[in-house]
Chain A
Amino acid sequence: MSTQAFSSVHPNAATSDLNITIDTFVAKLKRRQVQGSYAIALETLQLLMRFISAARWNHVNELIEQIRDLGNRLEKAHPTAFSCGNVIRRILAVLRDEVEEDTMSTTITSTSVAEPLISSMFNLLQKPEQPHQKRKNSSGSSSMKTKTDYRQVAIQGIKDLIDEIKNIDEGIQQIAIDLIHDHEILLTPTPDSKTVLKFLITARERSNRTFTVLVTEGFPNNTKNAHEFAKKLAQHNIETLVIPDSAVFALMSRVGKVIIGTKAVFVNGGTISSNSGVSSVCECAREFRTPVFAVAGLYKLSPLYPFDVEKFVEFGGSQRILPRMDPRKRLDAVNQITDYVPPENIDIYITNVGGFNPSFIYRIAWDNYKQIDVHLDKQKV
């Protein structure tokens, strides 16, 4: 249905090629063929780059609308691939900032002066749609005058974002390395996180610290990753212990710090991890007063709020839980794939722009997103 909307927007033959690429990407997302938020973010950005370079518009708001539509499609294809929506919102924010700047320079009204200083919270109370619409009407002619090349702005924004995402580990490592000491015992329940892996390896090799890493298995969905992770660590001469998920409580008293990777970080400071069992581990850590620190690139910050946690947690089939089942006597089996960790069980977030308390995450989120773009599916009036 949304493809029709697109074809109506772009009737040309040139865009049909693009439509195919979008469709294949949507299909890939639906089939969960793109794994990991890192890969999803990068592929989304590549797609967005092609989309913007092929897009045609009369006014920048049309472009924004088109990007929102695309974002909506992708989010619907895979509602829990948060990084996909996040990067699109980031680009939208870049565009909107540019628009704002333009309106600032042309029409200096009291509202537009206040706009960049006052951030989201006030917007919430202010009913943000109306000033925007006003401005849209007024800026319609003004932006034409200044002739800002929004295509260039958007593409530059995408390129910057790709750069940022690729270099995230560097920034995180520099901060996180100061959080562990020599001969510490670390526990990580998210062995599929590349950030955690790279961080541990560089901590060992560059800073030459010796530490022990306990890796939980994350049975059944993540055991393979866990074993590969453990093997890689051991090959880099890091003392590694693979433990079953059930032994976490038994060993927590010996653990110095718990380090978790994230899939998405919400504005309340809670996080979705790509591995089940993480919330139990963090709860254990809380019970033992063991500090938990989460590593997250900035692109994992999501402007969403987890009012309904169950909407964000994924469940899988039962064949991995109960391989054999009497077909006449079926029973329910729960296979949780992802896990939600509430903010009270996380002590600190390490992002590539610095370390933050979970309660402060919302500020960082609103630095990069616009309130208006939180829900892409809501059609603008």
Chain B
Amino acid sequence: MSESETKSEQAAPPSKAKQNVPVAAAGSKEKKLSNKELKELKKQEKAAKRAAMKQANGMSIEQQQQQAQMKKEKKQLQREQQQKREQKQKNANKKKQNERSVKKSTLFGHLETTEERRATILALTSAVSSPKTSRITAAGLMVPVVASALSGSNVLTASSLMSTGSNAASIPTASAPASATTTISASSIALSIAPGSTATNTPTAIQQEIASSNASDVAKTLASISLEAGEFNVIPGISSVIPAALEQSFDSSNLVSSVKELLLNKDLIHPSILLLTSHLAHYKIVGSIPRCIAMLEVFQIVIKDYQTPKGTTLSRNLTSYLSHQIDLLKKARPLSVAMGNAIRWLKQEISLIDPSTPDRAAKEDLCEKIGQFAKEKIELADQLIIDNASTQIENSTTIVTYGSSKVLTELLLHNAIGLEKNIKIIVVDSRPLFEGRKMAETLRNAGVNVMYALITSLDTIFNMDIDYVFLGAHSILSNGFLYSRAGTAMLAMTAKRRNIPVLVCCESLKFSQRVQLDSVTFNELADPNDLVNIDYENPVERRGNKGALLNQFIKERESEKKKLEMENKPKGNKVSGKKGSEEENKDVNSEEDSNGKNILDGWQELPSLNIVNILYDLTPPEYIKKVITEFGALPPSSVPVILREYKGSA
């Protein structure tokens, strides 16, 4: 019974609540109604007043009604138009997105393109190159971000960015120092965070803010920054070149954030690193080993110039300092495996330094160690490899090689000149880097019997009497695959099918822990524009950031010219007649130009056309007879053994 009572009691309260609720609701309704009534009353009052006023002015009620209707219709029209505009914008955005997503090659969409890397370097160098603006850039970049971070709003307003941009842009024209100081003072909060503290100390919240900001805004700010270089302002029209160039290529938030991070730390970057970056990006230093040596040399300079900031020790801070430098180097080209291994070694060495050793001694010690490393791992290793491989080469052998390799050049020179063996060398080469030309030239200049061919003539070459194929390497992966210049695999395959032994000369510094199954998953994309130019000379030599910028500039100038012409045209018939003759002249010119132009020049505008310029490919271990390293000759399957056994020394 008691249970049932409790049940009934339990059941009771809800019913009460139910009863209560409608009451409350009714109450609120009443209140609401009263509110509404009040509002309506007020409205009526106002309308009556207006009507009275208008009547006083001499308008009839009908006229008033008409006016009201007209207003309503107008508003509707405006709304519709707005909606249409919005839809159009949306569509346009969608189209843009589609175009962009399509333009990334279908097979290699996951890889970083040269355009992106180039844009990053461009942004950075333009920011770094003028010392006056570097501070302002920090202000321009930091102010809105920090302000929004402080205010708690996540969205960057375009107006704030633009205003800072315009401020910055006005500086060179107006009395420069005064306005500069004002902007700096205005952004004192930002600066107080920005300069002294390195990226390691910057709060992660701010970085997140950076990542969330819009890509095109970033491009604009960067543009306003780069404009500060002053002398650009002399040339009309250039103002839009850099932002456009940047805006084009900044479409992924990932990239934008990485660029911003780089820009935040740009004060830390050593000038010699910048120089090396530009050399690497322009393919002035090519080849895994030369790149690695160049990097180690630059690191020696960087370490010599390094000053430990107060409050930290060298062994702790130098690593992070170096990693900022490396971040920039990565933007020139992805690091080679040899470079990665060297960096890993260097970082370990730094961490092993006793914190109690004075900075100067530690730095000297490090530089010495780097020199020793380069000598041991590269020079001496090469010597051992050459000694070992020379036993393979007999008198009057014919050897095929591909591209250019430092060890191989030395090996062949040593055998042909040093040991006076009568050998014949066939250098196979490929577009667009034509590295083999350099090698063929070096060998030929030394008096070696050289033949030069392109990869398309493989069939003819292997119909000759070939004894060996010697290959250089970019890296050998843990599963025995050879990762080397694109085309190597085809050469190795052809040799294997004709039972010609394929030997690879490779320092153990190039051995990688990584495994990879095919060349599509991981690769380096070079600039597709290198393939547009059908020239028998090396197209890469003459291209770089400047070329891309110049093209952009020329394009914009031309479009501007066209605009001007269009504006001038309707002015008079006489003028148009003259124009006609000019146009004819132009046609003639354009015909002449077409000889110098390339067929694929406008390939970016064709949505379904793509150019793929990959730098590396993978040669399966079955094609390789043996790998010659400083530890001796071994089959490709033994690469992981070397990696494990000699990890201490490697």
| Chain A positions near chain B (C-beta within 8 angstroms) | 212, 217-220, 223-224, 227-228, 230-231, 233-235, 237-251, 253-254, 275-277, 279-280, 283-284, 287, 309-310, 313, 315, 319-324, 326, 329, 331-336, 339-340
Q: Which of A250, A253, A310, A334 has the most CB of B within 10 A?
A: A250
Tell me if B347 counts as interface (CB < 8 A to partner A). no
> Smallest distance from the beta carbon of B367 to chain A beta carbons, Å?
39
Q: Number of B residues contacting the other chain (C-beta, 8 Å)?
A: 57
Complex CA–CA separation, A289 to B414 (angstroms): 41
| B520 contacts across to A, CB distance below 8 A | 250-251, 253-254
Say whether B536 contacts A239, CB under 8 Å: no
Say whether B614 contacts A280, CB under 8 Å: no
User: Of B453, B489, B606, B609, which one neighbours A250 at CB under 8 angstroms?
Assistant: B489
Complex CA–CA separation, A333 to B105 (angstroms): 34
Residue of B nearest to A220 (CB): B536
Complex CA–CA separation, A294 to B606 (angstroms): 29
Complex CA–CA separation, A243 to B608 (angstroms): 14
Complex CA–CA separation, A315 to B459 (angstroms): 12
| B519 contacts across to A, CB distance below 8 A | 249-251, 253
| Chain B positions near chain A (C-beta within 8 angstroms) | 105-107, 430-432, 437, 440-441, 444-445, 450-461, 463, 485-487, 489-490, 493-494, 497, 518-520, 523, 531-532, 534, 536-537, 598-600, 603, 606-614, 616-618
**20 A-B contacts (beta carbon < 8 Å):** A217-B531, A220-B536, A227-B599, A231-B599, A233-B608, A241-B106, A241-B612, A243-B611, A243-B613, A244-B432, A244-B613, A246-B490, A246-B617, A251-B519, A251-B520, A253-B518, A253-B520, A326-B441, A326-B445, A334-B454
Say whether B523 contacts A242, CB under 8 Å: no
> Smallest distance from the beta carbon of A270 to chain B beta carbons, Å?
12
Residue of A nearest to B402 (CB): A246
> Smallest distance from the beta carbon of B632 to chain A beta carbons, Å?
29
Residue of A nearest to B616 (CB): A250
| B609 contacts across to A, CB distance below 8 A | 230-231, 233-234, 240, 242
Say whether A250 contacts B599, CB under 8 Å: no
| A276 contacts across to B, CB distance below 8 A | 456-457, 459
Complex CA–CA separation, A279 to B456 (angstroms): 9
Say whether B600 contacts A247, CB under 8 Å: no
Residue of A nearest to B432 (CB): A244
> Smallest distance from the beta carbon of A82 to chain B beta carbons, Å?
18
Say whether B106 contacts A239, CB under 8 Å: yes
Say whether A334 contacts B460, CB under 8 Å: yes
| A332 contacts across to B, CB distance below 8 A | 450-452
| A253 contacts across to B, CB distance below 8 A | 518-520
Say whether A333 contacts B599, CB under 8 Å: no
Q: Is the interface of A mostly helix, strand, loop or mixed?
A: mixed
CB-CB under 8 A for A234 and B614, given A251-B520, A334-B451: no
Say whether A242 contacts B600, CB under 8 Å: yes
User: Of B459, B493, B531, B599, which one neighbours A284 at CB under 8 angstroms?
Assistant: B493
Residue of B nearest to A319 (CB): B536
A-B pairs with lowest CB-CB distance, top 3? A246-B487, A277-B456, A234-B609
Say whether B459 contacts A333, CB under 8 Å: no
> Smallest distance from the beta carbon of B405 to chain A beta carbons, Å?
15
Complex CA–CA separation, A321 to B454 (angstroms): 7
| A324 contacts across to B, CB distance below 8 A | 537
Residue of A nearest to B619 (CB): A249
A-B Cβ contacts below 8 A, count: 183
Say whether A331 contacts B490, CB under 8 Å: no
| B612 contacts across to A, CB distance below 8 A | 241-243, 247, 251
| A224 contacts across to B, CB distance below 8 A | 534, 599
Complex CA–CA separation, A233 to B437 (angstroms): 33
Residue of A nearest to B520 (CB): A254
Additional A-B contacts beyond A234-B608, A242-B610, A313-B460 (9; CB < 8 A): A219-B454, A219-B456, A227-B534, A245-B430, A245-B487, A246-B617, A283-B494, A283-B497, A323-B537
CB-CB under 8 A for A247 and B610, given A280-B458, A331-B450: no
Complex CA–CA separation, A123 to B170 (angstroms): 94
Say whether A241 contacts B611, CB under 8 Å: yes
Say whether A277 contacts B599, CB under 8 Å: no
Say whether A331 contacts B600, CB under 8 Å: no
Residue of A nearest to B445 (CB): A329
Residue of A nearest to B618 (CB): A250
Say whether B451 contacts A250, CB under 8 Å: no
Complex CA–CA separation, A322 to B599 (angstroms): 22
Q: Which of A249, A280, A284 has the most CB of B within 10 A?
A: A249
Say whether B600 contacts A220, CB under 8 Å: no
| A220 contacts across to B, CB distance below 8 A | 454, 536
User: Of A223, A240, A331, which one neighbours B451 at CB under 8 angstroms?
Assistant: A331
Say whether B444 contacts A245, CB under 8 Å: no
Complex CA–CA separation, A276 to B461 (angstroms): 12
Say whether A321 contacts B452, CB under 8 Å: yes
Complex CA–CA separation, A219 to B436 (angstroms): 15
User: Of A217, A227, A243, A339, which one neighbours B598 at CB under 8 angstroms?
Assistant: A227
Residue of B nearest to A279 (CB): B459
CB-CB under 8 A for A280 and B431, given A241-B611, A246-B486, A334-B452: no
Say whether A241 contacts B455, CB under 8 Å: no
Residue of B nearest to A243 (CB): B612
| A245 contacts across to B, CB distance below 8 A | 430-431, 454-456, 487
Say whether A322 contacts B613, CB under 8 Å: no
Say whether A280 contacts B456, CB under 8 Å: yes
Complex CA–CA separation, A333 to B451 (angstroms): 6
Residue of A nearest to B496 (CB): A287
Say whether A280 contacts B494, CB under 8 Å: yes
Complex CA–CA separation, A230 to B532 (angstroms): 12
Say whether A246 contacts B430, CB under 8 Å: yes
Complex CA–CA separation, A321 to B456 (angstroms): 11
> Smallest distance from the beta carbon of B315 to chain A beta carbons, Å?
43
| B599 contacts across to A, CB distance below 8 A | 224, 227-228, 231
| B610 contacts across to A, CB distance below 8 A | 239-242
User: Of B107, B460, B534, B611, which one neighbours A251 at CB under 8 angstroms?
Assistant: B107
Say whether B493 contacts A223, CB under 8 Å: no
Residue of B nearest to A321 (CB): B454
CB-CB under 8 A for A244 and B451, given A230-B609, A249-B490: no
Say whether A336 contacts B606, CB under 8 Å: no
> Smallest distance from the beta carbon of B548 to chain A beta carbons, Å?
19
> Smallest distance from the beta carbon of A258 to chain B beta carbons, Å?
14
Residue of A nearest to B456 (CB): A277
Complex CA–CA separation, A84 to B105 (angstroms): 42
Complex CA–CA separation, A379 to B497 (angstroms): 42
Complex CA–CA separation, A340 to B598 (angstroms): 30
Say whether A241 contacts B105, CB under 8 Å: yes
| B537 contacts across to A, CB distance below 8 A | 323-324
> Smallest distance from the beta carbon of B23 to chain A beta carbons, Å?
67
Complex CA–CA separation, A340 to B462 (angstroms): 13
> Smallest distance from the beta carbon of A340 to chain B beta carbons, Å?
7
> Smallest distance from the beta carbon of B437 to chain A beta carbons, Å?
7
Residue of A nearest to B102 (CB): A239
| A275 contacts across to B, CB distance below 8 A | 456
> Smallest distance from the beta carbon of B45 to chain A beta carbons, Å?
66
User: Of A228, A234, A280, A336, which one neighbours B490 at CB under 8 angstroms?
Assistant: A280
Say whether A334 contacts B457, CB under 8 Å: yes
| B598 contacts across to A, CB distance below 8 A | 227
> Smallest distance from the beta carbon of A104 to chain B beta carbons, Å?
47
CB-CB under 8 A for A219 and B450, given A231-B599, A323-B537, A335-B457: no
Residue of B nearest to A310 (CB): B463
User: Of B107, B459, B486, which one neighbours A241 at CB under 8 angstroms?
Assistant: B107
| B460 contacts across to A, CB distance below 8 A | 313, 315, 334, 336
CB-CB under 8 A for A240 and B608, given A249-B493, A336-B459, A339-B459: yes
CB-CB under 8 A for A254 and B107, given A243-B612, A245-B455: yes
User: Of B445, B493, B536, B618, which one neighbours A321 at CB under 8 angstroms?
Assistant: B536
> Smallest distance from the beta carbon of A18 to chain B beta carbons, Å?
38
Complex CA–CA separation, A283 to B458 (angstroms): 11
| B606 contacts across to A, CB distance below 8 A | 231, 234-235
| A335 contacts across to B, CB distance below 8 A | 453-454, 457
